[in-house]
Structure 1
Amino acid sequence: MRLLLLNGNTDSGITARLAALAEEAIPRLGLPAAQVVPATAPFGARYISTRAAVAIASHAVLAGLAANLGPANEAGFDAALIACFGEPGIEAAREVFPLPIVGMAEASIAAGLARAPRVALLTGGALWVPMLEEFARVRGFGPDRVMVRGVTPTGDMIARDPDGAVALLAEAARAAAADGAGVVVLGGAGLAGLAPRVAPLAGVPVLDSFDCALSAALGGRAPRGAPAAQAPMLGIDPSLARCFA
């Protein structure tokens, strides 16, 4: 299998870290062997943390997919994973590209609800809390099914100092469990790989959203795109323009 791993942030260091984590996680999770091809969003925020950054990243994700896939997936990928918890542009991508496209939040909510009736999404950055609450609500999950919690450091801060974030994340996970969460999801590219360290301190199962997305992408549970006829676009990247021809 070939998996395109597209980081919706522009921090290439996080892309490299995710690619390394993927290589480690695939055998650990018992997934089919896969060639993981990492890519980074061509423009936008270093690490997405606001609605404006999400909006720009949606365009960047489409451009990044177009550059790596081609209009009809001529590159022959079996699936694409948008490695950004807010999943910028995922619905639009499924409308354009003819292959399964996975998002970290969607996959981890499904995995969490398969284990408990109420899930907590725990992420970095206070501004993500209302955005993810809206994300869950649009997909039909109220706070009785999916609650959202955040810690003050943003995901990129956590990625730069994971040792300093473990205790803070564990404290927030315990608080979410006290509020009724049966499973806690660590959400965000910057939090990938921390679940095994947080879980022993949390009192409830802790899932890694990146692991959940890999399992969906390589385990045959990825929603396949349904490309629609597109009107031509002007003034956009040539690779993406070909997808709207």
Structure 2
Amino acid sequence: MRLLLLNGNTDPAITALLATRAAEAIPRLGLPTAEVVPVTAPFGARYISTRAAVAVAGHAVLAALAEHVGTDNPYGYDAAVIACFGEPGIEAARELLPIPIVGMAEASIAAALALAPRIALLTGGALWVPMLEEFALVRGHGRDQVMVRGIAPTGDMIARDPDGAAAALAKAAQEAVADGAGAVVLGGAGLAGIAPRVAPLVSVPVLDSLDCALAAALGGGCGRARVAQAPMVGVSDALRRWSA
């Protein structure tokens, strides 16, 4: 299999982190062998943490996917993962592209709810909390199913100091457990690979959102529904070709 791993942030260090964690996770999870091609969003925020950044990232994600997949998928990708927990542009990408598109939040919510009737999404950056609450509600998951917690450092800060962030993440996770969470998802590109540091300090399963997305992408079952598009102007040539 050939998997496109698209970092919706523009920080190449996060892309490198994701690529490393994916290479480690695939054999650890017993997933099918895959060539993982990491790609960084061509424009937008260094690390997405606001609504404005999410909006810009949606365009950047579509442009990058259109560029790398191509109208006839010449590079032979079997699936793509949008490696940004807010999943900017995911529904639009599914309208445009001929391959399954997987998001980290969607996949990890499904995996966690398979373990417990009430779960917690835990991420970096306080502004993500209301955005992820809305994300869950739009997908039919009320607060009785999905609670959202955040710690103050943003995901890129956590990525630079994972050991320093582990204790704060574990404390927030255990507080969520006290409020009824039966599983906790560590969500965000910058949090990839931290779950093994946090899990021993938490009394319920702790899931890595990148692991969940890889399992969904490489395990199949990622549906798509392409939709005819009106012509676009002022976008990249690749994205314009897809809209045609």
TM-score normalized with structure 2 length: 0.99
Instruction: Kindly provide the CA deviation profile for residues 4-45 of structure 1, in whole angstroms up to 9, marking residues without a partner as x.
Output: 000000001110111111111101000000000110000000
Count of aligned pairs between the two proteins: 244
SS of 1:198's equivalent in the other structure is: helix
1:50 aligns with 2:50: yes
Contact 1:6-1:40 at 8 Å conserved across structures: yes
Deviation of the 1:54 alpha carbon: 0.3
Secondary structure at 1:61's aligned position in 2?
Answer: helix
Extract structure 1 runs of 4+ deviating beyond 6 A.
Answer: none
What is the CA distance between 1:202 and its match in structure 2? 1.2
Residue 244 (structure 1) shift: 1.1
Q: What is the match of residue 225 of structure 2?
A: 226
- Cα deviation for residue 164 of structure 1 reads 0.8
Q: 2:123 — aligned with what? A: 123
Counterpart Cα distance in 1 of 2:76 and 2:225: 17
Distance 2:74 2:91 in 1: 21
Superposition map of 1:25-44 within 5 A: 25-44=25-44
- SS at 1:94's partner residue? helix
Give the conservation status (yes or no) of the 8 Å contact 1:4–1:77.
yes
Check the 8 A contact 1:149/1:176 in 2, yes or no. yes
Aligned to 2:114: 114
In structure 2, the residue matched to 1:83 is 83
Please say if residues 193 and 208 of structure 1, whose CA atoms lie closer than 8 Å, have aligned partners that are also in contact. Answer: yes
What residue in structure 2 maps to residue 244 of structure 1?
Answer: 243
- Give the drift of 1:120: 0.1
CA distance in 2, matches of 1:42, 1:98: 21
State the shift of 1:72 in Å: 3.4
Code of the residue aligned with 2:186 in structure 1: it is: L
Letter in 2 for 1:169: L
Work out whether 1:181 is the aligned partner of 2:181.
yes
Matches within 5 A, 1:60-209: 60-209=60-209
Asked if structure 2 preserves the Cα contact closer than 8 Å seen for 1:72 and 1:97, the reply is: no
Q: Distance in 1 between matches of 2:25 and 2:139?
A: 28
Question: Hey, what does 1:9 align to over in structure 2?
Answer: 9
CA distance in 2, matches of 1:238, 1:183: 43
CA displacement at 1:222 relative to structure 2: 1.9
Partner Cα separation in structure 1 for residue 70 and residue 116 of structure 2: 39
Per-residue CA shift, 1:102-132, capped at 9, x if unaligned?
A: 0000000000000000110000000000000
| Separation in structure 2 between the aligned mates of residue 179 and residue 226 of structure 1, nearest angstrom | 38
User: 1:228, CA displacement in angstroms?
Assistant: 1.1
SS at match of 2:129: helix
Counterpart residue type for residue 99 of structure 2: L
> Counterpart of 2:231 in structure 1: which amino acid?
P
Provide the rounded CA distance (Å) in 2 between the counterparts of 1:193 and 1:221: 24
Percent sequence identity is 76
In the alignment, the residues of structure 2 paired with residue 106 and residue 71 of structure 1 have an alpha-carbon distance, to the nearest angstrom, of 26
Structure 2 gaps, min length 5: none
